[in-house]
Amino acid sequence: MADRADDDLARLAGAAARHGVRPRTFLSNHRHIFRGVDLRGRTVLDVGSGLGLTSCYAAARGAKRVVGIEPEAAGCELGALERARSIRAEMAYEQRVEIVPATLAESGIEGRFDVVVVNDAINHFDEEACAVLDRNPAARGAYRPLFEHLSRLTKPGGSLILTDCSNRNFLPDIGLINPIRRSINWRIHQPPELWAEMFLRFGFRDPRIDWIPLARMGRLGRAIGTWRWAAYFLNSQFRLLLVRE
């Protein structure tokens, strides 16, 4: 079983490379995203699935059913759905990975999942509200339906994984562009502590915050990239892991 998983991950890394994603970065990021979460035999919901690489990674790691939701809206490049279907077919995951071309609210997805992952997407649900989420009660109200929906879709004892960039990064803080994250609009992001605080109000517990290192920096990046201060000077990308009560 381990050999099969390794073979699938190697093929998936190759597929990622053909679609412009660095294989080392892809594998390193996803090892951190799912660190401590057993995917074998589990059901997984991938919200904002983009190219479907996270969905296919979960399947390669043994998930029995994966549903990826991608509206191909803000935050995702055009053509993502077509490319996601191509990658799924290349991996022969048509029976295990479903791709739903809709927003979460419009998807009609029912039931509960063992693992729900929102990978670099939560700020795109309402970018204007996200920009002021820390200081505007109305903005928090705008996000309430999303939190309630994610709570309903996560099984008791199941895992919710949230990844995103924090709103704080050294170079933007001093008015410069971060060459690692040139396309990030830091204004429409929030720190992981704020997301944790909000999810705790909707049936989640035991928040754990990690920082995702830069694979392209090799051993040095992996060694220091999980430290908060290093993330602040590099990519500021976090993972928030919570458990559904």
Give the span between the Cα atoms of 160 and 211, in whole angstroms.
16
Q: What total of structural domains would you count in the chain?
A: 1
- Per-residue pLDDT tens digits for 230-239: 999 999 999 9
Q: Which two tokens stand for residue 88?
A: 């799924």
pLDDT in tens, 149-199: 999 999 999 999 999 999 999 999 999 999 989 999 999 999 999 999 999
**What is the residue-level pLDDT of the chain in tens, covering all 245 positions?**
566 778 999 999 999 999 899 999 999 999 999 999 999 999 999 999 999 999 999 999 999 999 999 986 544 555 788 889 999 999 999 999 999 999 999 999 989 999 999 999 999 999 999 999 999 999 999 999 999 999 999 999 999 999 999 999 999 999 999 998 999 999 999 999 999 999 999 999 999 999 998 877 777 776 777 889 999 999 999 999 999 99
CATH code for the domain in which residue 182 is found: 3.40.50.150
Q: Which domain holds residue 25?
A: 2-244
pTM of the prediction? 0.94
Residue 94: alpha-carbon gap to chain centroid: 21
What DSSP assignment string belongs to the chain? -HHHHHHHHHHHHHHHHHTT--HHHHHHHHHHHTTT---TT-EEEEET-TTSHHHHHHHHTT-SEEEEE----TTS-TTHHHHHHHHHHHTT-TTTEEEE-S-TTTS---S-EEEEEEES-GGGSSHHHHHTTTT-HHHHHHHHHHHHHHHHHEEEEEEEEEEEE-S--HHHHTT---STTTT--GGG---HHHHHHHHGGGTEEEEEEEE---GGGHHHHHHHTTSHHHHHHTT-EEEEEEEE-
* Gap between the Cα atoms of 113 and 66, Å rounded: 9
